[in-house]
Structure 1
Amino acid sequence: MSSTVGFRILAKLSRSRLSGLSSRIISVGRFSSTAESAESSKDVTSAPQPGKIQAALLKEFSSPLVLENLDPPRRAQENEVLIDVHYCALSASDVLLSQNLHTFEPKLPMILGYEVVGKLIEIGTQAEKNGYKIGDKVVALNKERYGGLAEKCLAEVGNIWKVPSTKSASSADLASILDSYITALVALERKVSLNEDDMILINVGVSGIGLAAVDLATNVFKAKVIGVCATEDCADRAREMGAFAALKYKDKKLIKQIEEIAAERDIKAIFEDEDGAYFKKMLSCLCHEGRVIIAGTTATMADVSDVQKGSFSITGFNLMEYKKKKPDVYRQAGDDVLQFLEEGLIAPSYSLIAGMHKINDVFGSISENVFPGKVIIDMRNKEAAITKMVT
């Protein structure tokens, strides 16, 4: 077993063996190690102080976050902006960092959270040249800096997008969308080359990326999606998004169910001969080990050397590395995702929303895979009650 970043298995079946039906199988998801999640405790913070900002700090690994008053960050570079944060999304990456299970060891104390929505309160010359102004509402993907669990955070201009004035989504929706949907969109376009009416099997788990892949594949690419999910709640969400079928991977009848679905689609030889045997082995790994694939974060990957033959291949994809190599594609993917949202083609998912002072009460729900998708933290209404979302 080894730790790795940004790997996804793409298992492609031969077109000749699918009775003319084009087919792609992509596994997308986030699986952390089985380490215990941080224990929840009552948050304690002093009253706000003039000239200070409130932030949730990770001060010790596998311990509750600590709410403190800090000096606000100072913009030092011309490519930076300062954001008054309204909402921050938390995901599996934040949990892995909090437990020191990421591929790098963060320097503590650290402020988690890299997806934020808020207003610009300071901008540099590069932001001005790109048409931004103070007061603009933006969504930021701050994946190289984090810092979102604070009332104010710095971001680079290349990692922010202006929120359309005619937006049809809430600010909380916007906070949960960029990382998952940009990653899924680039992967589906550049790694899978998904086409209309293709059939694709997506290992959703309970991840935001997996659900984003289902949403995009079904409602933008118009493909036929079979979702393999960790919980019935997640399977229900995949069905709501329009998945052709959504199955629980812990169900011992999973492979039989997939065989039946394949038969309905006139896929006759899905498990026949050598390539089919490797495909079945991969499915068994997904069903019983649950430690196979990730997209853009850290996970434990089982030894998959036996499934790298024939029609199977390992393809790597990490969003931040991709951004460095193809920044224009990264920016365009963000524009496309926001346009899809504006047009009502996609509907981002998050499981809970809660005020900042409830952070430790909801943080464990991510590591324990209690609900599908992400958790949204309201950075303004700090005492807001924990609310389970149905969207």
Structure 2
Amino acid sequence: MKALRTHAVGGPETLTLDEVDAPKPGAGELLVRVKACAINFPDTLIIRDLYQFKPERPFAPGGEISGVVEEVGEGVTDFAPGDRVLAGIGHGGLVEQVTVQAGRAFKVPEGVPFEKAASLLMTYGTTIHGLKDRGHIKEGDTVLVLGAAGGVGLSAVELAKAYGARVVAAVSSEEKGEVARKAGADEVVIYTRDEMDKAASKDLAAKFKEACGPNGANIVYDIVGGQYSEPALRSIAWEGRFLVVGFPAGIAKMPLNLTLLKSCDICGVFWGAFTAREPAKFRAQVAELFDLMQAGKIDPLVSETYPLERGGDAIAKLDSRTAVGKLVVTID
């Protein structure tokens, strides 16, 4: 079978398309023929050895797949050959076939395309956990989403609207603002990608405050980090929740006096650890996501697809922070 793999530390240009032996499922595993593999920010890090997990090389990136079960291992009773499934696997998804722990797989309802199924787990899974478990979202809240036009950002816009919140989308261009508006954002704030001095940071904070309204943002959903985090924190409501989801723009140094003045919380959202620590709750949230999808309340935006041999191009596009929605590698 074919696999797009990393053999040495480096960027997406170092990936090579290799011919390797097809795996066999062990006890408790499924052999899945991969139909789609979504690209996520960890894929840009793991090939550079910058992610918290460092697999032994050579390995394929790609942590989120959908496909068809070809074979089941010993002891598997909940799945059968022919089942349509999705799974989060950490890495190893940019391949034609992959083995998956049955306990980490989910059946995909009929009618859901493989590309959208592969785009559901890490983005919407992170966000449903973040908004509900860490942000305690409720109807009528105002939610400020940084990086609102990417895959995770759009999931936050859609889910916050599904839960009855008002959404302020912060993005880096008017084009991305239109994408966020189409997903349901009530207000859009455009921020610069240039380095900001103190005056520019205060100006951005003022824009956030104006868009969020006099009471501020009950939840800040920060997927971006860096120089954007402090202005967002300055716009938070009394007893608001600032959710740390990711930091492609860098790890922010936050003035903790603001947390005292606003009596607010800064909360980490480590979805991967949550799925391992609370698997039953995780599975219930995935079922809820499919219910919301079938009700038309969420709909993953797959903006571009790539063949397996161009999977490195998809990672490079995401790494450039110019991607809108989800980038998906399709494998036939």
Q: TM-score if structure 1 supplies the norm length?
A: 0.71
Match of 2:170 among 205, 228, 239: 228
Q: Which moved more, 1:301-310 or 1:113-122?
A: 301-310
Q: CA offset at residue 281 of structure 1? A: 8.1
What is the RMSD of the two structures over their aligned residues, measured on CA atoms? 2.7
Matching residue's letter, 2:65: V
Distance 2:251 2:212 in 1: 27
Q: Which residue of 1 aligns with 2:231?
A: 283
Q: How does 1:1-391 map to 2 (within 5 A)?
A: 53-63=1-11, 64=13, 65-76=15-26, 78-128=27-77, 130=78, 132-143=79-90, 146-165=91-110, 167=111, 169-204=112-147, 206-218=149-161, 220-250=162-192, 254-263=204-213, 267=214, 270=216, 282-283=230-231, 294-295=244-245, 300-306=250-256, 307-310=258-261, 311-380=263-332
Aligned 8 A contact 1:117 1:174 in 2 = yes
Q: CA offset at residue 72 of structure 1? A: 0.8
Q: Which moved more, 1:238-247 or 1:358-367?
A: 358-367
Q: Which residue of 2 aligns with 1:389?
A: none
Aligned 8 A contact 2:230 2:255 in 1 = no
Aligned 8 A contact 2:146 2:170 in 1 = yes
Distance 1:249 1:262 in 2: 15
Distance 1:155 1:299 in 2: 32
- List gaps (5 residues or longer) in structure 2: 194-199, 218-227, 236-241
Q: CA offset at residue 284 of structure 1? A: 6.2
Change (3 A) 1:315 1:262: closer
Aligned 8 A contact 2:243 2:266 in 1 = no
Cα shift readout 1:150-183 (whole Å, capped 9, x = no counterpart): 0000111121111112x3x322111111111111
Change (3 A) 1:324 1:371: closer
- List gaps (5 residues or longer) in structure 1: 1-52, 272-279, 381-391
What SS is found at the alignment partner of 2:211?
helix
Change (3 A) 1:298 1:334: farther
What SS is found at the alignment partner of 2:260?
coil
Q: CA offset at residue 127 of structure 1? A: 3.2
Report sequence identity in percent.
24
Aligned 8 A contact 1:147 1:154 in 2 = no
Q: CA offset at residue 312 of structure 1? A: 2.8
Distance 2:54 2:317 in 1: 23
Distance 1:100 1:243 in 2: 36
Q: Which residue of 1 aligns with 2:222?
A: none
Q: CA offset at residue 121 of structure 1? A: 0.7
What SS is found at the alignment partner of 1:197?
coil
Matching residue's letter, 1:148: G
Change (3 A) 1:202 1:298: closer
Aligned 8 A contact 1:123 1:134 in 2 = yes
Distance 1:371 1:233 in 2: 11
Cα shift readout 1:234-290 (whole Å, capped 9, x = no counterpart): 322211111111212228554343343345xxx2x659xxxxxxxx98216899xxx
Aligned 8 A contact 1:73 1:154 in 2 = yes
Aligned residues: 304
Q: CA offset at residue 112 of structure 1? A: 0.7
Query: Relative contact order: is structure 1 or structure 2 higher (C-alpha 8 Å, sep ≥ 6)?
Result: 1
Distance 1:249 1:157 in 2: 43
Q: CA offset at residue 206 of structure 1? A: 4.9
Change (3 A) 1:284 1:331: closer
Change (3 A) 1:177 1:282: same
What SS is found at the alignment partner of 2:69?
strand
Distance 1:197 1:175 in 2: 31
Distance 1:377 1:54 in 2: 13
Distance 1:59 1:293 in 2: 35
Q: CA offset at residue 359 of structure 1? A: 2.1
Cα shift readout 1:72-98 (whole Å, capped 9, x = no counterpart): 11222x221110001111111100112
Higher CA-based Rg: 1
Aligned 8 A contact 1:296 1:318 in 2 = no
Q: TM-score if structure 2 supplies the norm length?
A: 0.83
Q: CA offset at residue 125 of structure 1? A: 4.5
Matching residue's letter, 2:166: K
What SS is found at the alignment partner of 2:192?
coil
Q: CA offset at residue 200 of structure 1? A: 1.3
Aligned 8 A contact 1:126 1:157 in 2 = no
